[in-house]
Structure 1
Amino acid sequence: MVSSLLFFTRFLAFLGVLLSLNLYAQPGTANNPIRVEAESGQLSGVEVASAVAGFSGTGYVTGFDNPTDALNLSFTAPAGLYELTIGYRSPFGEKGIDFQINTEKAGGMLRPSTTFARFDGGKFLLMGGPVSLTIFRGWGYFDIDYILLTPTTVKRPVPPATARLTDPNASPVTVGLYQFLLSQYGNKVISGQQDDVEYVLEKTGKEPAIGAFDLIDYSPTRVQNGARPLRTSEACLAWARKGDGRGIISLMWHWNAPTDLINQPPDKLWWRGFYTEATTFDLAATLADPAGPRYALLLRDIDAIAEQLKKFQAANVPVLWRPLHEASGGWFWWGAKGADPFRQLWQLLYNRLTNFHNLHNLIWVYTGTDAFNTDWYPGDAYVDVVGLDIYAPADATLSTNWEAALAQFSGKKLVALSESGHLPRPDAIRGFATWWSWFAVWTGADYIKKQPDDLLKAVFTDADVLTRDELPDWRTPTQPLLTGLEPTWSVSVAGNPVADSLVNLDIQGAEGQLLHLTVFDSRGRLLTEKIVTPRTPTIRYALPLGSDEPGLYLIRIISSTTASTLKIIKS
């Protein structure tokens, strides 16, 4: 960990360079990009190859398969802010890459590509003179063609063009919170903390604006084994409502598997049942059998968490709701079977909580470990905010992660630092324009309690970091209610209740738009999924329910930018 004194000394120099370069007005002092071919570097355990066509120069570097393998490139560069591009090939799927420019470490994820492609590595400030860029093994099994450093500037992010929540029935206080998040985006960063909110207050005299807590111990298989919440829902509510009642709540859920816990020492005990290694619960098989007992247990668990979330709704407290986090890593069971089952589970959870349990106090936060892996993204109609969980070195600027998120979601969703291993540095936020909507450092002795006291005070007293005492009354919407993605088209049921297993939908104003139609029963089971593209301004479409049983059904209609939900009764 870089000492606080050393860190601030570096940033004084950093700010001096920023001012001398006037980065907001011109692209540094270098006129041309700096390109270095990989084969010209110093090779450690790797080799130059030319077997695969499409590379630049005389070859590319391959053989990143041992922990000590590395490629070092040495060159000189004028002082300035640069955008890093790495030419690469990743024929064996998505791969993590780690690299270092001078003393600054960074990393990211390489998209699968059997041909040579470009990876955007983020922004880096160079002081002028010799530069050392090292690419480490990371996950390995990729090829490196070249690196490119292009003079660049920084700019503040802009709020999403569609400033509406996905839930068309979101409560006014929930809309008020979302509008507050939008109003601060790109101007201030909202402070948060996972669990240890009291510790931050003790050390800094300031309280995080966002208290982030976990519903882990409300998972039925933990309750069955005698678990008791360290901080109950009632205690979370008390924290939010104390004083002026402006504290913001974020809730996650380390979902202990509904069944099939291994429960064997040392690392597969019942309380670790959210980890893939501690359960044999098969999500894909469960979703494929909606009439089966494991599917019923899946719904039981969701319903148990719904009862906790209803306490917040009854108290008129909105929730930054971030379930099913870090799925693409595979270390949690909800991501162990791949992207398709995960997306199905997310949409099932969304529909069960929103449309079945009528929870309208949730702002849905999708959190991953990388931004550009869209295979795992549940879809715009099911996500309000995108969060990144980043555990990088203490002095990392996080520019690489931020730039990847902006490239994927700019203009669509707010981007937050939903989990981190270290406090983000305000000077880095300003210098690299990494204006996260909010941040939350992970709990415990290895994370928030390991941060130097002077750094804690510096971050939580910074003018660009909002703490609880600086929050306005966000509970009342400042604009007319923008409740939901209000469609330009309309869909209605021709006759409700319906007696047939086919439902006639009258669709108007959707000519040429792709509509995704899904049907769920009252248990949250996905019964039907259809894609419709109307060719005329008005059509009637016969949608099969997928069931002959009488009861309540939910029809979700989603276009590229809007969504709507219909409730029907089958007699």
Structure 2
Amino acid sequence: MISDLLNTLNRAIPRPKGEIPFFLPIWLAFGLFAGALAAPGPIKVEAELGELAGVQVASTNPGFSGTGYVTGLDNETDKLTLTVNAPAGLYELTIGYAAPYGDKGIDFQVNTERGSAMLKQTFTGFTTAGLGKFLLNEGLNTITIYRGWGYYDIDYILLTPTAVSLPTKPPKTLVDAQATPSTKGLFTYLVDQYGSKVISGQQDDVEYILEKTGKEPAIGSFDLIDYSPSRVQFGTTPQRSSEDIIKWARKGEGRGIISLMWHWNAPTDLINQAPDKLWWRGFYTDATTFDIAAVLADKQSERYQLILRDIDAIALELKKFQAADVPVLWRPLHEASGGWFWWGAKGAGPLKELWRILYDRLTNHHQLHNLIWVYTATDTFKTDWYPGDQYVDIVGMDIYTNSTANMSGNWASAQAQLNGKKLVTLSETGNLPSPDKIRGFGTWWSWFAVWTGTDYIKKQPVDLLKAVFTDTDVITRDELPDWRPPLTLGVQDGGQANTTLWLVTLLGNPATGDKADVRVRGATGSRLKFVVTDAKGNQLLTKEIEHAADVETHSLPLGKGAGVYFIRVSTQTESQTLKVVRP
């Protein structure tokens, strides 16, 4: 009964801006009294009873609660302000709304904390959407809803007491059954950290982070944009070549993690007109007339062949990473649901078909098995755009919002569909995430990466940079373990009456320093031979053991320079060759 009375007081007659309601002392007294008697229950506030600025109350659209709903959010200064009396605590914020004109972005503020979300289109009446978790103060709290994209209606808000929950770890199984051991090792490491630590990343400006904080991001995120053939035709040179990215991954102990995206310049049909449709903007929908739906409808067409040509060009770069035993967090066709890139301009169907073509071409045709496939949504996960569990290992979210936002609503939009199935990561963001908010709201992104340049990472206060990259729950490069598993090969030796299995293990790959450690187990009494060669086939070392013990461990010198080396281990009848990388 007390809760009902408090809600009735919340739904008082609208008042002029800044005027204190006559019942405020009673409101506070009842709030404290209710909090002393029982745990807080859900608090519902009707939109039409809030403070209106540039908006109106209407009742023509059926299905609303209360006496009406708020409409007219179409100008930049329009907003609705609701004042809520509540016991202190963590609450789930839900909005009742109608969006008959398509999906709409919404911007809002809870006390001093900003947030954003997407409202799905409604076709009849009103529905609800979760906006995330928020900490409310004891007593009065203010919730403001801004225009956002506009042209949606607000029925009410609902605040429900809630608690923080940890994400469920997904299986340690990649969609590519032939993934390389190092790729599997990296994915296993990511799953192991999920829900307890966040791995630091950075788009391009990895050196800047090291300079300002003394710490290096564990993940370097880079772009294959300038390998797009329609950019190469204009003479582009990559800002950072594939070879340089590989060097960054392999330096030191070789534990740096690589994430690659691809701003895919349209294969053809670039508008190339000043000022804002020039060829180098050819990945944007408004800078090309390339129609992916039409192209996919005619797979015998010249334009479809250009799609394959572009994929093949990128495959050549990805093969360099595979040859160097560098797994890739592969993030193509990002932010498709936003529609601002040509690969998402014709809807979800063509995007999903293009994703499957890309997956098949790289995995099966080009035999690339060092890729961890990352599907990237915008700030809201939309199931109708998702390519499917069988084609995706990780789901990323690209969220550009106010620095005060806790992003719990964005996180929840993905967790509702993916918890326990896929890792969720903050693949791009405009501001550094707060470790305190990650802990406080349970938004345990697998990793984060702030966008590059002066408007994003270089705009962050240096003190904040240092605080984030030295936080105990943020993993930097120096804290990465050797996530590559020891390479163990079983060799069936059939040279004797009773066949035996002997195991060859490479202890550490990439190698540490100029030597590789190899362990052979189970070749007891056999004659063992080790041969080390470089990538050109030049023989660098031969070592023989006349009568092997049950366990033989040998440190074998490699060449003087960084590169790929091969170690051939053989008995009288069988042999096995290992590939080792020297950073």
- Give the TM-score normalised by the residue count of structure 1: 0.78
Residue among 133, 138, 141 paired with 1:131: 141
Contact 2:381/2:397 (<8 A) preserved: no
Contact 2:395/2:423 (<8 A) preserved: yes
Contact 2:379/2:400 (<8 A) preserved: no
Structure-2 residue corresponding to 1:508: none
The change in CA–CA distance for 1:29 and 1:472 in structure 2 (over 3 A counts) is farther
Contact 1:29/1:78 (<8 A) preserved: no
Percent identity at matched positions?
Answer: 71
SS across alignment from 1:156: coil
Structure-2 residue corresponding to 1:78: 87
Bigger shift: residues 209-218 or 370-379 = 370-379
Structure-1 residue corresponding to 2:541: none
Would you say 1:69 and 2:69 are equivalent positions?
Answer: no
Q: Cα offset for 1:30?
A: 4.5
* 1:36-55 equivalent positions in 2, closer than 5 A: 36-55=45-64
Residue among 253, 261, 264 paired with 1:255: 264
The higher relative CO (CA closer than 8 Å, separation ≥ 6) is in: 1
In 2, distance between residues paired with 1:167 and 1:319?
13
In 2, distance between residues paired with 1:305 and 1:75?
54
CA shift digits 1:374-400 (9 cap, x unpaired): 111111111100000011111211111
Q: Cα offset for 1:447?
A: 0.6
Q: Cα offset for 1:296?
A: 0.6
In 1, distance between residues paired with 2:90 and 2:488?
38
CA shift digits 1:468-524 (9 cap, x unpaired): 0000110117999xxxxxxxxxxxxxxxxxxxxxxxxxxxxxxxxxxxxxxxxxxxx
The change in CA–CA distance for 1:429 and 1:112 in structure 2 (over 3 A counts) is same
CA shift digits 1:236-278 (9 cap, x unpaired): 0000000000000000000011001111111111111111111
Structure-1 residue corresponding to 2:345: 336
Contact 1:252/1:321 (<8 A) preserved: yes
* 1:309-348 equivalent positions in 2, closer than 5 A: 309-348=318-357
Residue among 137, 141, 152 paired with 1:142: 152
Would you say 1:151 and 2:161 are equivalent positions?
Answer: yes
Q: For residue 422 of structure 2, what is the amino acid of its counterpart?
A: K
Structure-2 residue corresponding to 1:375: 384
CA shift digits 1:268-291 (9 cap, x unpaired): 111111111111111111111100
In 2, distance between residues paired with 1:381 and 1:210?
25
Would you say 1:32 and 2:41 are equivalent positions?
Answer: yes
In 2, distance between residues paired with 1:68 and 1:423?
28
Structure-2 residue corresponding to 1:362: 371
Residue among 362, 367, 370 paired with 1:353: 362
SS across alignment from 1:251: strand
CA shift digits 1:135-173 (9 cap, x unpaired): 11111111111101111110211211x331111111111
Would you say 1:120 and 2:130 are equivalent positions?
Answer: yes
Would you say 1:194 and 2:207 are equivalent positions?
Answer: no
Would you say 1:292 and 2:296 are equivalent positions?
Answer: no
In 2, distance between residues paired with 1:271 and 1:29?
62
Would you say 1:279 and 2:288 are equivalent positions?
Answer: yes
Residue among 229, 250, 255 paired with 1:246: 255
Q: For residue 450 of structure 1, what is the amino acid of its counterpart?
A: K
CA shift digits 1:343-391 (9 cap, x unpaired): 1111110111011111000000011113331111111111100000011
Query: Could you say what the CA RMSD is over the residues aligned between the two structures, in angstroms?
Result: 1.6
Q: For residue 275 of structure 1, what is the amino acid of its counterpart?
A: Y
Would you say 1:390 and 2:395 are equivalent positions?
Answer: no
In 2, distance between residues paired with 1:297 and 1:138?
38
Q: For residue 158 of structure 1, what is the amino acid of its counterpart?
A: T
Structure-2 residue corresponding to 1:471: 480
CA shift digits 1:392-435 (9 cap, x unpaired): 11121111111211112111110000000010011111111111
Structure-2 residue corresponding to 1:451: 460
Structure-2 residue corresponding to 1:541: none
Q: Cα offset for 1:29?
A: 8.1
Would you say 1:106 and 2:115 are equivalent positions?
Answer: yes
Structure-2 residue corresponding to 1:4: none
Q: For residue 145 of structure 2, what is the amino acid of its counterpart?
A: I
Structure-2 residue corresponding to 1:174: 183
SS across alignment from 2:80: strand
In 2, distance between residues paired with 1:29 and 1:166?
49
The change in CA–CA distance for 1:179 and 1:478 in structure 2 (over 3 A counts) is farther
In 2, distance between residues paired with 1:258 and 1:409?
33
Q: Cα offset for 1:96?
A: 0.7
Q: Cα offset for 1:445?
A: 0.7
Structure-2 residue corresponding to 1:24: none
Contact 2:397/2:427 (<8 A) preserved: yes
In 1, distance between residues paired with 2:217 and 2:110?
33
Contact 2:98/2:122 (<8 A) preserved: yes
SS across alignment from 1:239: helix
In 1, distance between residues paired with 2:175 and 2:377?
19
Bigger shift: residues 197-206 or 137-146 = 137-146
Q: For residue 419 of structure 2, what is the amino acid of its counterpart?
A: S
Structure-1 residue corresponding to 2:424: 415
SS across alignment from 1:191: strand
Structure-2 residue corresponding to 1:213: 222
Dislocated runs of 4+, deviation >4 Å: 477-480
In 2, distance between residues paired with 1:214 and 1:372?
23
SS across alignment from 1:81: strand
How many equivalent residue pairs?
452
Structure-1 residue corresponding to 2:104: 95
Contact 2:48/2:68 (<8 A) preserved: yes
SS across alignment from 1:113: coil
In 2, distance between residues paired with 1:233 and 1:383?
24
SS across alignment from 1:35: strand
Structure 1 residue ranges without an equivalent (≥5): 1-27, 481-571
The change in CA–CA distance for 1:71 and 1:474 in structure 2 (over 3 A counts) is same
Structure-2 residue corresponding to 1:438: 447
In 2, distance between residues paired with 1:44 and 1:245?
57
CA shift digits 1:431-487 (9 cap, x unpaired): 11111000000001111111111111110011000000000110117999xxxxxxx
In 2, distance between residues paired with 1:472 and 1:240?
14
In 1, distance between residues paired with 2:76 and 2:388?
36
Would you say 1:59 and 2:68 are equivalent positions?
Answer: yes
In 2, distance between residues paired with 1:67 and 1:31?
35
Residue among 247, 265, 268 paired with 2:274: 265
Contact 1:371/1:408 (<8 A) preserved: no
- Give the TM-score normalised by the residue count of structure 2: 0.76
In 2, distance between residues paired with 1:75 and 1:157?
30
Structure 2 residue ranges without an equivalent (≥5): 1-36, 490-583
CA shift digits 1:26-78 (9 cap, x unpaired): xx984211110111111122221222222111111122222222111112111
Residue among 402, 407, 410 paired with 2:411: 402
In 1, distance between residues paired with 2:240 and 2:372?
21
The change in CA–CA distance for 1:153 and 1:325 in structure 2 (over 3 A counts) is same
In 2, distance between residues paired with 1:194 and 1:255?
17
In 1, distance between residues paired with 2:369 and 2:486?
15
SS across alignment from 2:216: coil
Structure-2 residue corresponding to 1:569: none
